[in-house]
Structure 1
Amino acid sequence: MQAVVVFKGGFVSLRGVELAEIPEETARVARAVFPRGCLAMRMCDVLGPVFADADFAELFAVRGRPAVSPARLALVSVLQFAEGLTDRQAAHAVRSRLDWKYALSLESTDTGFDFSVLSEFRARLAEADAGRAVFDAVLRAAGEAGLVKPGGRRRTDATRVLAPTRDLNRLEFVVETLRTALDQVAEVAGDWLVTVAAPEWFDRYSARPEDSRFPSRWAARVEHGDQCGADGMTLLEAACSTQAPPGLWNLPAVELLRRTWVQQFQHVEGVVLWRHPKDAPPGLIRLRTPHEPEARTGAKRDLAWSGYKVHLGETCEPDAPHLITHIHTTPAPVNDNAVLEDVHTALAERELLPDEHLVDAGYIDAEQIHHARRDHDIDLVGPVGQNTNREQMTDHFFDNTHFAVDWNRRQAVRPGGHTSVQWRDAHGNRGTPVTRVRFARRHCGPCELRTSCTNARTGRNLTLRPRAEHDILQQARVEQDTDHWRRRYGHRAGVEGAISQGVQAFGLRRSRYRGLAKTRLQHHLTGAAINLARLDAWHTGRPLARTRVSPFAALCPAG
């Protein structure tokens, strides 16, 4: 029942397998063993053939050996993530489980395939960034069944994803990076490395950092780091010299060593010294471990982690299953509001744009609200930032809302009645366009309202967003203090349940693989598995889990 590779005019084509054609004997035995059905069988009956070989034709070379049907491999991968199986366990399930054979349209006597085929298939998906095709296929099948539609409400939130490698402190990081480079160079040019390495290097870098005892005093640790920096610089200079073996400079570990040393060390009067922590590069490009070069450090309030961040968007209509409609994976330091446009664009490509998108404060500001309305006709709902100026937060101080702004005449009028004397276009700290408005010192000085307006010796200054964003911000700050807005926004809270399900039932919190591409693939397969589980719950009438209340909290009197 495997797909056959057919040569036609020098090209290889996969002879498609029709997954809807379930062998009669397999169907008879499976229904006898599972009279009430199970997830794999019910989803096959409800959704029909979710995947087709043609969807993955671009993943395979023009010439190659016979391959297992990629449609089957895609379905096996989703079922594997739905049940949390390893590759060996998933391959064994294909050989031994009737419900999987039913879903895969296999004969009951089919012996399946070797487990290594699954990792090879994932490698092809990751290399082509085709994990989204698997996720989209499940979502498209749900749409054809009338279970997900454009419009309505969506809600989005993000959670951290831990890299598969352990966290290293700064000293451990530089020592391990140099040790890894030495090991790789030793494999390809050991005889040359012996002539370069100082005798004490074997004591410093033969063992992993966790097996070493670093100095406890800070000054001694800095000295150890400086010594490591000097040793690494010696290796880099030798590797790029004319006496070095060809190709040594292009080794991945040597390139990573060079990038790390640029970030961590500097030359000061001919001496290699550790950079001050404040002189370190921003988190988006700062390396954290030689074993996961794409992992970055993210922070949220008092929590910090090394790895990635995943954004989940789901439907939240009461008369339909709550399905994941979009998954977006980024490095850990990427701000939430930076991904919102990508999320909306992806939803537009699937024709699943919502009418109303519920997000938390990390995703939203006046600019995002304006762009969502202008570009996608989406009403972005979330708490906009309040005034953070300590003085302007008091009731007796005049914030921007107390000034009458005439955009056509390019002037503003303050509460005392005086008109601004300067109006100029500028850019804010983030490079976004703003308008700077200034009032004359001669008007502010003698004004009786001065104490409620400004403490500056010069006149009052205003910084205004572009007109559309200014109006949106003022309106949003008023609306979010109403009960109607709170009830409307209350639907967003359910997305925490989606994240909890992903973390506890599907291992969403930790990456199984190394690298952003493979982590993104993991999340797309996880999203497809979550959707299968939710579709099965909807089909069987299993209600959503209720919010858990501890026995002690249940004793709290009402009100």
Structure 2
Amino acid sequence: MGWVRVSMQPSGPNEVPVETVRVARAAFPKGSLAIRVRDELGPLFRDEEFADLFPSRGKPAWSPGRLALVSVLQFVEGLTDRQAAEAVRARIDFKYALGLELGDPGFDFSVLSEFRDRLVQADAGRRVLDGILTAAGEKGLLKTAGRARTDSTHVLTAAREVAWLERVAETLRSALNTLAQAAPDWLVEVAEPDWFKHYATRAEDSRFPKARAKRDEMGLRIGRDGTRLLQAVWSRHAPRDLRELPQVEHLRRMWVQNFHEVEGEVRRRDPKDRPPGTTCLVSPYDMEARNSLKRDTAWAGYKVHLTETCDPGAPNLITNVATTNATVPDFSMTEAVHARLAETGRLPGEHLVDAGYIDAHVLVSARREYGLTLTGPVAGIVSHQAAAGGGFTADDFTIDWAAEQVTCPGGKTATCWNPDHSPEGTPVIRVRFKGGDCRPCPVREQCTTSSVGRRLTLRPRAEHEALRQARAEQDTDTWKERYKTRAGVEGTISQAAQRCGLRRSRYRGLAKTALQHQLTGAAINLARIDAHLTDTPRARTRTSHFAALRPAELTLDGAK
């Protein structure tokens, strides 16, 4: 990483120097966020919590406990690294929060970037969020046994969006630059003369042809050049460690996804022959960013899941932050969120989520594994009988789970009960009735149009019954009133996006983006604790004058 070798010499919980207290009280008679948080929560982080990030020998490092707090305050106020370092050096309230003497010179701004890199390498961003939550819990500001809510939102990659031609050209140029540093003599021997003309400067500084035929020709030329380079890297004459360079591996994957050889000629793959979105590379600069689509929002990057408490009488604090690539579905994160909350001792009694997090399996596991109630709208029964309105759905059949038998509304018993798996790999039970029983049935038109008999696909008993119960409950006024609380998490996402830039990554890569989101969660918590201490009312949902005129029978999208 090019770090200066520094060691960490832990210092105990530091008191605020007397002179710093005197000047801060005079300069801020009403206090400030940094001062109030220090007064209420005390020193939030101890150096020992980050001891594993530093070697035992070397030049003494600036206090990592203080750097953690600076990183959070930086996100609270939206400061750059330079501005944050300057605030430590010049602002009295920052010195108060950090317990520094008035004359303390602080640190060079580059120390913050190095500290973040250390946090990323040790996956230690959660320690910062957990440190604030622990302090809040000790002061009675965190309630975890009640209710919590979770939602996700899109996160744009820090890398700019590029078209296909520039994407492959920049991927090849990046690999050439890396090889030029790692093995310059070897690269000079294998490089084609025209490579220096085509790839010496950034692709964005070049003019791509406007004609489609010329662009296709350029794409094939880039494909051939990249293929020749990869063949040279994997030849027996090349140093073996070149294959392990991240940019070379990125080039290899990009070329596998976009090009192939047909009768000895490099060709671009057809769209149907390209990989799915979960593995498809979309940027020459960010190897982990992926394309995704959610309703009307399409983006390249990541997704973040925020979980917060939502009980009255205490600030709504973010208790878990999880960052994934953009293609991970919400329902696959429900159990991961529960596991993390259980690990930290912050499991709620009821977890409010939207439909994306609900699945029959997680409904059962939430209750069985964690003893919590998972509340959210479950999908209705999907079948042409349900769509018709008067047809018999699976709920109209009588199931004898012990005998493994199903009886239809017409009184006939199924002849087949076959445990199986769905295409997604979840356990299901396939049930089939005889065509001879179904064809003469007087209620056949309400049940099936198949000549071979009605077929059902059931979930295992616990999941089947959980779904039936959930569908019945969500139609009640009591459930609807209770579920209204979930909508508040959208305000949290809005606050994090507007105050801390949640929806655009500051850095490249999943690990650094995840750290950004942990620091964002910590910053929002500090802001909310400060608002609670000063009795600042929560902002009300703003409605424009025109929107207020919307008739009650219209939905949000304007459709009846």
Q: So what's the TM-score if we normalise by structure 1?
A: 0.94
Give the structure 2 partner of residue 70 of structure 1: 64
Deviation at 1:271, TM superposition (A): 2.2
User: 1:61 is aligned with what amino acid?
Assistant: P
2:11 matched to 1:16? yes
Measured in 1, the distance between the counterparts of 2:35 and 2:491 equals 26
Measured in 1, the distance between the counterparts of 2:417 and 2:307 equals 41
2:158 matched to 1:164? yes
Give the structure 2 partner of residue 9 of structure 1: none
Measured in 2, the distance between the counterparts of 1:185 and 1:303 equals 38
Distance 1:15 1:235, change over 3 A: closer
1:471 pairs with 465, 468, 471, which one?
A: 465
Distance 1:404 1:558, change over 3 A: closer
Deviation at 1:272, TM superposition (A): 2.0
2:357 pairs with 345, 360, 363, which one?
A: 363
User: 1:16 is aligned with what amino acid?
Assistant: S
Give the structure 2 partner of residue 537 of structure 1: 531
2:94 pairs with 100, 105, 112, which one?
A: 100
User: 1:186 is aligned with what amino acid?
Assistant: A
Structure 1, unaligned runs of 5 or more: 7-11
Give the structure 2 partner of residue 299 of structure 1: 293
User: 2:514 is aligned with what amino acid?
Assistant: R
Give the structure 1 partner of residue 432 of structure 2: 438
2:413 matched to 1:413? no
Asked if 1 retains the 8 angstrom alpha-carbon contact of 2:141 and 2:314, the reply is yes
Measured in 2, the distance between the counterparts of 1:398 and 1:120 equals 63
Deviation at 1:481, TM superposition (A): 1.6
Q: How many pairs does the alignment contain?
A: 549
2:229 matched to 1:235? yes
Asked if 2 retains the 8 angstrom alpha-carbon contact of 1:359 and 1:380, the reply is yes
Measured in 1, the distance between the counterparts of 2:144 and 2:110 equals 39
1:60 pairs with 48, 54, 57, which one?
A: 54
User: 1:464 is aligned with what amino acid?
Assistant: L
Give the structure 2 partner of residue 519 of structure 1: 513
Give the structure 1 partner of residue 557 of structure 2: none
Tell me the secondary structure at the aligned position of residue 301 of structure 2: strand
Measured in 1, the distance between the counterparts of 2:458 and 2:240 equals 59
Tell me the secondary structure at the aligned position of residue 298 of structure 2: strand
1:152-551 superposed matches below 5 A: 152-190=146-184, 192-216=186-210, 218=212, 220-244=214-238, 247-551=241-545
Tell me the secondary structure at the aligned position of residue 74 of structure 2: helix
Measured in 1, the distance between the counterparts of 2:235 and 2:503 equals 44
Tell me the secondary structure at the aligned position of residue 393 of structure 1: helix
Tell me the secondary structure at the aligned position of residue 387 of structure 2: coil
Deviation at 1:499, TM superposition (A): 0.2
Asked if 1 retains the 8 angstrom alpha-carbon contact of 2:143 and 2:309, the reply is no
What is the aligned-residue identity percentage? 58
Distance 1:164 1:556, change over 3 A: closer
Distance 1:490 1:246, change over 3 A: closer
RMSD: 2.0
Asked if 2 retains the 8 angstrom alpha-carbon contact of 1:287 and 1:293, the reply is yes
Measured in 2, the distance between the counterparts of 1:469 and 1:173 equals 45
Q: So what's the TM-score if we normalise by structure 2?
A: 0.94
Measured in 1, the distance between the counterparts of 2:123 and 2:231 equals 37
Tell me the secondary structure at the aligned position of residue 542 of structure 2: coil
Deviation at 1:557, TM superposition (A): 8.0
The range that moved more, 239-248 or 41-50, is 239-248
Deviation at 1:345, TM superposition (A): 1.1
1:149 pairs with 131, 139, 143, which one?
A: 143
1:110-129 superposed matches below 5 A: 110-129=104-123
Measured in 2, the distance between the counterparts of 1:229 and 1:442 equals 60
| Cα-to-partner distance string for 1:487-531 (whole Å, 9 max, x where unaligned) | 111111110100000000111111111111111111111111100
| Cα-to-partner distance string for 1:299-322 (whole Å, 9 max, x where unaligned) | 212322111111001111121111
User: 2:273 is aligned with what amino acid?
Assistant: D
Asked if 1 retains the 8 angstrom alpha-carbon contact of 2:89 and 2:106, the reply is yes
Tell me the secondary structure at the aligned position of residue 473 of structure 1: helix
Deviation at 1:244, TM superposition (A): 3.5
Tell me the secondary structure at the aligned position of residue 228 of structure 1: helix
Measured in 2, the distance between the counterparts of 1:419 and 1:541 equals 65
Measured in 1, the distance between the counterparts of 2:182 and 2:237 equals 15
User: 1:524 is aligned with what amino acid?
Assistant: Q
The range that moved more, 415-424 or 443-452, is 443-452
| Cα-to-partner distance string for 1:321-348 (whole Å, 9 max, x where unaligned) | 1111110111111111111111111111
Asked if 2 retains the 8 angstrom alpha-carbon contact of 1:464 and 1:470, the reply is yes
Tell me the secondary structure at the aligned position of residue 339 of structure 1: helix
Deviation at 1:290, TM superposition (A): 2.3
Measured in 2, the distance between the counterparts of 1:222 and 1:408 equals 64
Measured in 1, the distance between the counterparts of 2:505 and 2:451 equals 55
Measured in 1, the distance between the counterparts of 2:244 and 2:340 equals 37
Asked if 1 retains the 8 angstrom alpha-carbon contact of 2:153 and 2:503, the reply is yes
The range that moved more, 114-123 or 459-468, is 114-123
User: 1:538 is aligned with what amino acid?
Assistant: H
Give the structure 2 partner of residue 140 of structure 1: 134
User: 1:54 is aligned with what amino acid?
Assistant: E
Tell me the secondary structure at the aligned position of residue 14 of structure 1: coil
Measured in 2, the distance between the counterparts of 1:521 and 1:555 equals 43
Measured in 2, the distance between the counterparts of 1:64 and 1:310 equals 37
Deviation at 1:190, TM superposition (A): 4.7
Deviation at 1:450, TM superposition (A): 1.4
Deviation at 1:558, TM superposition (A): 8.5
Give the structure 1 partner of residue 558 of structure 2: none
Measured in 2, the distance between the counterparts of 1:223 and 1:488 equals 61
Deviation at 1:191, TM superposition (A): 5.2
Deviation at 1:29, TM superposition (A): 1.0
Measured in 2, the distance between the counterparts of 1:118 and 1:354 equals 35
Tell me the secondary structure at the aligned position of residue 388 of structure 2: coil
Give the structure 2 partner of residue 26 of structure 1: 20
